Amino acid sequence: MRRRFAVPLLALGAFVVVGVYVTFTYITLLFDSVSDNSIDFVSGADHKLTNANGRDHEHTQVIPKIIHQTWVNDSVPTKWLSAQQSCLDVNPDWEYHLWTDNSSRQFIAEEYPWFLETFDKYPYPIMRADVIRYFVLAHYGGIYIDLDEGCSASLEPLLNYPAWVRKADPTGISNSVMGSTRNHPFFLRVLLELKKYTIDWQVPYITVMYATGPLFLSVVWKQYKHWATNHAEQVWILMPNDAENDSTFFFDLHGSSWHEDDAKWIMYLGVHWLFFTIIGFVVAAVIGLSAYLILKRSGRNKQFKKLKILEEP
């Protein structure tokens, strides 16, 4: 009797353990905070390299003056032309690259042929737009900016940080604006991790976020930041938009042109993640208890039938 119940309970326990192990990094992202001493952040208010302990570092421009952006072709939508032009106006002596679908594929084919098959097989165009920004930052260095992001001021203060990304809301980091030196170890690691996360979840928003988008980048960053040991390897965090932080440099037009209908539901889940997490545990507990009671009742019925057979003349 006990062995009969032990098998499904052990299976359920194993399922929970494996689930926690696989999603552990994603779970810990929910509790990540920029107040943690291990996280260094860029304050747009004073343009200083400052960490949670208030230490400053010498300023040396290490990122090259290159702006990277992506679009399907050379015809940028009218609604984003002003944002694009604002970045060119406040950074007039910078090199500028607009990576189109064709030039992106050609770049991967010539410089990273080992990734071309994966690049071509991505089910959604935005996934190729995601990965090309990682590759060009690792290859050339510079600053990547989404087309729906405008520039409020010169980006030269951001050239002092070997690699930086923007803090996302509510957790993790974003890939909408990023800066890096050429061959920075963080972005080199991002390139190597991409194939591992190439999974089509059959839901566009989840597939993009987990395989190439901000959630993928956040997981790699979460794992990487404990490995970085010096200033050159550090990934610095550009704080979220507010009056005292990265609004000094950027303004956001909130394009989200790749979002489909599933995105609204996923975002709703993200806002109310704690509620749905609790509901998930409750449902799992109810299913587990129901399975236990069904097995227990089944065992009693079998015992009753055996006794009835024994009692028959």
251 and 153 housed in the same domain: yes
Question: Which of the pair, 240 or 77, is modelled with greater confidence?
Answer: 77
Q: Do 46 and 107 have their domain in common?
A: yes
Q: What confidence tens digit (pLDDT) does each residue in 32-81 have?
A: 544 444 445 565 444 444 443 344 445 678 999 999 999 999 999 999 99
Residue type, 74: D
Max mean pLDDT among 26-30, 139-143, 210-214, 298-302 falls in 139-143
Which of 54-58, 212-216, 235-239, 246-250 has the least mean pLDDT?
54-58
- Of the candidates 178, 249, 266, the one whose C-alpha atom is nearest the C-alpha of residue 220 is 178
Angle formed by the axes of helices 214-224 and 204-211, nearest 10°: 30
In a domain, 266, yes or no: no
Q: Containing H/E element for 66?
A: strand 66-70
pLDDT of residue 19: 46
Average pLDDT (116-131) is 95
Work out the number of other CB atoms within 10 angstroms of the CB of residue 117.
Answer: 9
pTM, full prediction: 0.72
Range of the domain at 223: 37-259
140/249 same-domain check: yes
Residues 153, 66, single domain; the answer is yes
User: Residue 286 has what pLDDT?
Assistant: 73
What does the pLDDT average to over 275-302? Answer: 65
CATH label of the domain that carries residue 169? 3.90.550
Residues 201-212: pLDDT tens digits?
777 878 898 999
Which residue, chain included where needed, has tokens 């959604």?
A: 124
pLDDT of residue 244: 46
Structure tokens at 114: 């080992």
Bond before 92 cis per omega within 30 degrees: no
The verdict on 162 and 193 lying in the same domain is yes
In the chain, how many domains are there? 2
285 lies in the same domain as 175: no
Is residue 98 over pLDDT 90?
yes
> Which residue would you say has higher pLDDT here, 79 or 248?
79
Residues 77 and 176 in one domain: yes
**Residue 25, in any domain of the structure:** no
- DSSP-assigned states of every residue in 4-49: HHHHHHHHHHHHHHHHHHHHHHHHHHTT--TTSTT-EEEETTTTEE
Residue 46 phi/psi, 5-degree rounding, is -120, 0
Is the model's pLDDT at 301 over the cut of 60? Answer: no
User: Average pLDDT for residues 109-124, to the nearest whole number?
Assistant: 96
Residue 133 shares a structural domain with residue 111: yes
- Whether residue 74 contacts residue 104, with contact meaning beta carbons closer than 8 Å, is answered with no
The whole-number pLDDT of residue 230 equals: 78
**Are 119 and 7 in a shared domain?**
no
Give me the pLDDT at residue 278, please.
72
Q: State residue 64's pLDDT score.
A: 97
Report the share of the chain in percent with pLDDT over 70. 61
How do strand 40-43 and strand 163-167 relate by DSSP bridges?
A: unpaired
Whether 68 and 176 share a structural domain? yes
Q: Are residues 85 and 174 in the same domain?
A: yes
pLDDT at 139: 98
pLDDT in tens, 133-173: 999 999 999 999 999 999 999 999 999 999 999 988 767 89
Q: Are 233 and 180 in contact (CB under 8 A)?
A: no
